Amino acid sequence: MQRSKMVDRRARERQHGSAMVIALLVMAMLTLLGVSFLLMGETENRIAQNEKRGEQALYTAESGVRMVKRWFDRPGDAGNLRNPPLAVIDRSLRMIDADGDPATAPVAADGTAARPFYKQGIDEDADGADDVFRKPYRGSLEHTLLGTEDGPDMRIDEAASPAAKAFLTDLSGALMGNYPAAAQGIRARVVRIDVYAPPYVEQAGAWLRFGMATVKVIGRIYRVLPDGTEQSLGQRMVKVVLNEIPFNPSGDLGPLHSCDYLTWNGEFSVHWGIATAVNDADLHNNHDKQAVSLARVAPPDRSTDLLWGWDNPADFAAYKAAIDGLIVEDPWVRFMTEGTWLDAPNANPQPFPFSWVPGTPLDDGDIPYHPAAVPGPWHPNWWDGSHSNMFQHLPVGCPEFDYELWKAIAQSGSPFVHYYTWEAGTTFKENGLGAAIPFRDITDDQTGLFFFDTADGVAPYDDAADGEYDNLTPKIKIQGGTWGVRGMLYLNAFSFQSHGVKGRDATFKAPGEPFQDADQNRRWDPGEDWINLDYPTKLSGPGSDYVADAGDTMQDDGLPGGAAIRNSRGPAIDDEANIWGIMYNNGYYDATGNATYYGSVVSKSGIGEFDPSAGTPDHYWDESLRDDWPPDGWNLPRVAITRWETDM
What's the CA gap between 554 and 466, in Å, rounded?
Answer: 54
Could you tell me which residues come within 8 angstroms of residue 281 by beta carbon, excluding any fewer than 6 positions away? 258, 261, 262, 263, 264, 335, 337, 339, 340, 341, 342, 392
511 CB burial (10 A radius; 0-12, 13-18, 19+):
buried
Q: How far apart are CA 478 and CA 116, in angstroms?
A: 51
CB count within 10 Å of CB 620 equals: 26
Q: If we measure between CA atoms, which residue out of 600, 624, 139, 528 comes closest to residue 307?
A: 528
Distance, CA of 479 to CA of 15 (rounded, Å): 106
pLDDT of res. 1: 52
Beta strands in 162-311 (DSSP E): 180-181, 186-196, 200-203, 206-209, 213-224, 230-244, 256-258, 262-263, 269-271, 274-277, 281-282
Distance CA 248, CA 522 (A): 15
Biggest CA-to-CA distance, the chain: 161
Question: What is the distance between the alpha carbons of residues 270 and 274, in angstroms, rounded to a whole number?
Answer: 8
- Given a cut of 70, the residues of the chain with pLDDT beneath it are 1-17, 40-48, 265-267, 283-289, 372-383, 557, 612-614, 648
What confidence tens digit (pLDDT) does each residue in 454-498 have? 999 999 999 988 889 999 999 999 999 999 999 999 999 999 999
Task: Express each pLDDT in 580-613 by its tens digit.
Answer: 999 999 999 998 888 899 999 999 999 987 776 6
- How confident is the model at residue 592, as a pLDDT? 83
pLDDT number for residue 376: 46
What DSSP assignment string belongs to 431-446? TT-S--EEHHHHHTTE
Instruction: Please measure the distance between the N-terminal and C-terminal CA atoms of the chain and give it in whole angstroms.
Output: 81
Long-range contacts (CB closer than 8 Å, 24 or more residues apart) made by 308-311: 308/354, 308/356, 308/388, 309/516, 310/516, 310/517, 310/518, 310/520, 311/518
The alpha carbons of the chain give a radius of gyration, in whole angstroms, of: 34
Instruction: Identify whether the C-beta of residue 415 lies closer than 8 Å to the C-beta of residue 446.
Output: no
List the Cα angle 272/274/279 in 5-degree steps.
150
Task: Note the pLDDT of residue 379.
Answer: 46
Cis amide bond preceding 180, omega within 30:
yes
pLDDT of residue 648: 67
Query: Which residue, among 394, 409, 419, has the nearest Cα to 338 in the 3D structure?
Result: 394
Q: How far apart are CA 387 and CA 284, in angstroms?
A: 14
pLDDT at 268: 73
Q: 242 has which bridge partners?
A: 213, 641
Q: What is the Cα 572 distance to its own chain's centre?
A: 23
Contact assessment for residue 187 and residue 222, using Cβ atoms and an 8 Å cutoff? yes
Residue 16 confidence (pLDDT): 59
CA distances from residue 218 to 160, 242, 332, 364 in whole angstroms, order as listed: 14, 17, 49, 69
